[in-house]
Structure 1
Amino acid sequence: MITGEIKSQVDKVWNTFWSGGISNPLEVIEQITYLLFLKRLDENHTREEKRANLLGQPLQNAVFPDGLDPQGRPYADLRWSRFKDFSQAEMFTVFSQSVFPFLRNELPKLSNGEESTYSHHMKDAQFKIPNAGVLKQVVDVIDSINMDGKDTKGDLYEYMLSKLASAGTNGQFRTPRHIIDLMVGMTAPKPLEAICDPASGTCGFLVQAGEFLRKNNPNLLTNDESKKFFHNQQFHGFDFDSTMLRIGSMNMLLHGVENPDISYRDSLADLHAEEEEKYHVILANPPFAGSLDYENVAKDLLTVVKTKKTELLFLALFIKLLKPGGRAAVIVPDGVLFGSTGAHKALRKMLVEGHKLDAVVKLPSGVFKPYAGVSTAILFFTKTNSGGTDNVWFYDVKSDGFSLDDKRTPLASSDLPDVLARWNERTTTERQRARTDQSFCVPLSEIAANDYDLSLNRYKEIEHEDVEHADPEEILTVLDGLEAEIAEGMADLRELLGG
């Protein structure tokens, strides 16, 4: 866990970027990411040097080659351990003219270079650090932090990502960490299960899925099979924003996942034959960008549901990508639950009748503030291709542990632990809960009879307190008395005024 002192240093660097003219939080994070990557490359190179010296063998898998770079500078000068000690002016020159071109153009081509997803997303990167003073300050802060542990690196990056305080383009906004943790905990990913987020952004869902796997499987990274799968085949994220791909890749790397599949893809436009029925778990909060033209939607999705609505198309995509028996936890706008169009009804019917809809968790409308005030829910379903829904479990989240205004101040209590606890009892004690409770189950037959409406308020019963009112004659008598008092008071007032 990073300290308050480190946070204040990061805040100072952040303010320096802003005063230097970079006001987009994504750009700030991306520029810092280049330096974090350079430091990591030098750590890998140093580790290989120590191994070679210990074994008395030639250096293998060297990140920085011998000789000179295209600018005539020794590649050794590009290493963090050398670069960080240059004067302010020389550091800026070396980074802009040698280090950055090396990261962007040369490193992905080196057969012995860092075999990470991040290096493959550097081709479109741009160096935007405004001046030598800003660069020197960022380097000093990064160098002062002991990042030997995975947790420190990950926590540092997580703190920077928390500064994304405005919505991105195309309806993108960052999902709060505690909501992600709830969704991951309820889907409970297992070793050797392929996990996918088709709208991955900063890869928050994939990162937390990795943390869950580590925490709940002590032998995960000591077993050769599960370790190899974890680093190379377990995590899959798609995005069509190159900046997000770099930030997401670095987020995974700093959280200890060496080579995840984080790739460029327009998930709604590209055909999905290669990915169809490929994944065991899908975790996602896809962007709700409105409508697309039919010609911009993959034809295989339109065979599932004929619609232009992105939130419905993403649900169709998730069904297509899941293996039979695979499970999904996805955030949807409330309109998906009760929309009256043919496409809305058809998709809900498909989830309920064609597969197994496990749960609808209603979130308070302030969960995504300050990004947006949209009202949302989380759908949990299992792909079966043969039905299986018997009861759908509903939970009405009143508090997620934070105030529901733009400040999102932490509160003393939260419903989220209770959500997870009751979720684990949904096939037992939850079946007996009354519809007036915060959670309850609704049978398939009732949902079908309500045109597959999945809005919680359709089924929740409101308790009305019996209130005893006085007899009307008594009320009239009281009113007559009050009126007489008012008339008497007004008469006394007129007398005092000499009227």
Structure 2
Amino acid sequence: MVTGELRSKVDRVWDAFWSGGIANPIEVIEQITYLLFIRRLDEIHTREERKANRTGKPMERRVFPDGMDDTGRMPRPYDDLRWSAFTNRSPQEMFEIVGEHVFPFLRRMGGEGSSYARNMKDARFTIPTPALLAKVVDLLAEIPMEDRDTKGDIYEYMLAKLSQSGQNGQFRTSRHIIKLMVDMTAPTPADRIIDPAAGTAGFLVMAEEYLREHYEDEIFADDAKRDFFNTKAFTGYDSDAAMARIASMNMLLHGVEEPVIERADSLAEGHPATEDYTLVLANPPFAGSLDYETTAKDLLQVVKTKKTELLFLALMVKLLKNGGRAAVIVPDGVLFGSSNAHKSLRKMLVEDHKLDAVVKLPSGTFKPYTGVSTAILFFTKTSSGGTDHVWFYDVRADGFTLDDKRTPIEANDLPDVLTRWQNRDGEADRRRTAQSFLVPKQEIVENGYDLSINRYKEIEHEEVEHRSPEEILDELDALEVEIAEGLKRLRGMLATGKADAA
């Protein structure tokens, strides 16, 4: 988490843009991301140079090629386009280099036909003055970006400002909730992971961090696995062009060289290829609805509805290979909605596939952005059933207050969620009064496939032993006698005092 002096430094960067005339928060984060991306490219190139100098071998990965930049009217050596070079120039010259040479270089960096190239073709340098660019560059230079965790926290903090602005309904999923979902699904180096509503790629970044933490030696010691990690392991779709660009750079900033990040509507005709993925991680939009005409017909065959949350669930089932698993955040209405679409979708998850778990989140989890109550569904695609029991967990605290401020607190059920999930065999004897318990499939069927935890949770009423009326009356009688005696003594004391005074 970004706190103290570091938070102040990041805030000063943001404030500089606002005072410099850029008030659109998406534009601000885009321009910051471009500059951080340029800085990261220089760091990668410098690391490769040092490795080549140390080993005496040619550079394996040259970010900035030899020769001259021939895209502008003033050709420059590619080395001049590096962060470490242009940041030492005058504001006017730096402004010219970034606008006329660095951005054209960024737009043509990706391989022909790559998702990076498609996303970056519209990248524009919109910082209006040399003075603002110089100020922002100086502020960014003060922010440490070397440590992977610190860098991730800083970037997440800046992305959070998108949500705080409420711009276009772009609400970021909290990092600790994403981490829980990733830890519970436990990605492996063989997984092909997709988020069909990727936003800034928070789920994909967390999955990448999980794989590095648990399998780094295995992945990067094998050329084939390293290539898979960098090119095919991560896929994200978002209908917003700015989000797709930010997601592409976010993944590259985290060390994934060629992820598949596409600007596209996942629910429209021509949505992502089906049955190619082994893990879906997502928090799809669930505010609003779609017209049937814009929605893929094969999804409507699964569930005929305009509700985006139901259509995304249908899409996720189609995206997965048999054996593939999903973790998806849904509004509570999905769990108990009474429409035919709601019921048929829940029945499909329970009967046709394997519904593994329902983790109920506190109602303030997504404040201050929305107060909608939510849950996380975990399921495995089987196409042949397999649901025997469904594991429920009622999260009451997630480490933050449940008001708009979301201040960190000690109370946090999420570690217990993960521990109990990893030891579900031990949950069989848990009573329904506990926070977690198993519910057999047959009971869910008998309840019309209702998946709300309150349908199955038992409320334990503490038994209170009341005294008999006679005992209470006796006590009142004794109190009255005691009061009368006290009053008698008080009157005596007053009478004695008057006599002494006379």
Decide: shared fold, TM above 0.5.
Answer: yes
In structure 1, the partner of 2:71 is 69
C-alpha distance in structure 2 between counterparts of 1:473 and 1:58, whole Å: 92
In structure 2, the partner of 1:490 is none
Deviation digits for residues 174-208 of structure 1 (CA, Å, limit 9, x no counterpart): 11011011000110011111011000001111111
Q: Does 1:444 align with 2:434?
A: no
Bigger Rg, which one? 2
In structure 2, the partner of 1:33 is 33
Partner residue of 1:320 out of 302, 305, 318 = 318
Deviation digits for residues 234-270 of structure 1 (CA, Å, limit 9, x no counterpart): 0010111111111111211111111111111200113
Deviation digits for residues 383-433 of structure 1 (CA, Å, limit 9, x no counterpart): 00011001100000000000000110101130000001111222x220100
Q: Does 1:418 align with 2:421?
A: no
By how many angstroms is 1:165 displaced? Answer: 3.6
Deviation digits for residues 196-234 of structure 1 (CA, Å, limit 9, x no counterpart): 100000111111111111111242222222211111110
In structure 2, the partner of 1:19 is 19
By how many angstroms is 1:9 displaced? Answer: 2.0
C-alpha distance in structure 2 between counterparts of 1:340 and 1:479, whole Å: 55
Deviation digits for residues 347-393 of structure 1 (CA, Å, limit 9, x no counterpart): 00000011000000000010111111110000000000011001100
Report the AA paired with residue 30 of structure 2. E
C-alpha distance in structure 2 between counterparts of 1:373 and 1:117, whole Å: 35
> 1:69 is paired with a residue of what secondary structure?
coil
Correspondence list, 1:218-237, <5 A: 218-237=217-236
Asked whether the 8 Å contact 2:323–2:381 carries over to 1, the reply is: yes
C-alpha distance in structure 2 between counterparts of 1:352 and 1:38, whole Å: 48
Report the AA paired with residue 297 of structure 1. T
Asked whether the 8 Å contact 1:65–1:75 carries over to 2, the reply is: yes
By how many angstroms is 1:134 displaced? Answer: 2.1
Asked whether the 8 Å contact 1:13–1:134 carries over to 2, the reply is: no
> 1:384 is paired with a residue of what secondary structure?
coil
Judged with a 3 Å threshold, the aligned counterparts in structure 2 of structure 1 residues 107 and 194 are, in CA distance, closer, same or farther, namely closer
Report the AA paired with residue 100 of structure 2. Q
> 1:329 is paired with a residue of what secondary structure?
strand
Asked whether the 8 Å contact 1:150–1:256 carries over to 2, the reply is: no
When structure 1 is superposed on structure 2, of 172-181 and 313-322 the one drifting more is 172-181
In structure 1, the partner of 2:369 is 371
Judged with a 3 Å threshold, the aligned counterparts in structure 2 of structure 1 residues 243 and 69 are, in CA distance, closer, same or farther, namely same
By how many angstroms is 1:84 displaced? Answer: 0.5
Asked whether the 8 Å contact 2:357–2:392 carries over to 1, the reply is: yes
Asked whether the 8 Å contact 1:66–1:75 carries over to 2, the reply is: yes
When structure 1 is superposed on structure 2, of 319-328 and 90-99 the one drifting more is 90-99
Percent of counterpart pairs with the same letter?
Answer: 63
Q: Does 1:433 align with 2:416?
A: no
> 1:163 is paired with a residue of what secondary structure?
helix
Asked whether the 8 Å contact 1:116–1:258 carries over to 2, the reply is: no
Correspondence list, 1:68-467, <5 A: 68-76=70-78, 77-104=80-107, 106-108=108-110, 117-145=115-143, 147-166=145-164, 168=166, 171-217=169-215, 218-272=217-271, 275-426=273-424, 428-467=425-464
Report the AA paired with residue 34 of structure 2. Y
Report the AA paired with residue 181 of structure 1. K
Asked whether the 8 Å contact 2:175–2:202 carries over to 1, the reply is: yes
When structure 1 is superposed on structure 2, of 397-406 and 249-258 the one drifting more is 249-258
State the TM-score, normalizing by the size of structure 1. Answer: 0.87
Report the AA paired with residue 308 of structure 1. K
Report the AA paired with residue 13 of structure 2. V
State the TM-score, normalizing by the size of structure 2. Answer: 0.87
By how many angstroms is 1:475 displaced? Answer: 8.3
Matched residue count: 477
C-alpha distance in structure 1 between counterparts of 2:453 and 2:58, whole Å: 68
By how many angstroms is 1:96 displaced? Answer: 2.7
C-alpha distance in structure 1 between counterparts of 2:334 and 2:70, whole Å: 58
Judged with a 3 Å threshold, the aligned counterparts in structure 2 of structure 1 residues 421 and 99 are, in CA distance, closer, same or farther, namely same
C-alpha distance in structure 1 between counterparts of 2:58 and 2:418, whole Å: 54
Q: Give unmatched runs, 5+ long, in structure 2.
A: 484-502
C-alpha distance in structure 1 between counterparts of 2:398 and 2:60, whole Å: 56
By how many angstroms is 1:465 displaced? Answer: 2.0
| C-alpha RMSD of the superposition | 3.0
Judged with a 3 Å threshold, the aligned counterparts in structure 2 of structure 1 residues 395 and 65 are, in CA distance, closer, same or farther, namely same
In structure 2, the partner of 1:7 is 7
Report the AA paired with residue 89 of structure 2. F
Asked whether the 8 Å contact 1:167–1:173 carries over to 2, the reply is: no
Judged with a 3 Å threshold, the aligned counterparts in structure 2 of structure 1 residues 128 and 159 are, in CA distance, closer, same or farther, namely same
Judged with a 3 Å threshold, the aligned counterparts in structure 2 of structure 1 residues 316 and 170 are, in CA distance, closer, same or farther, namely farther
Correspondence list, 1:448-487, <5 A: 448-469=445-466
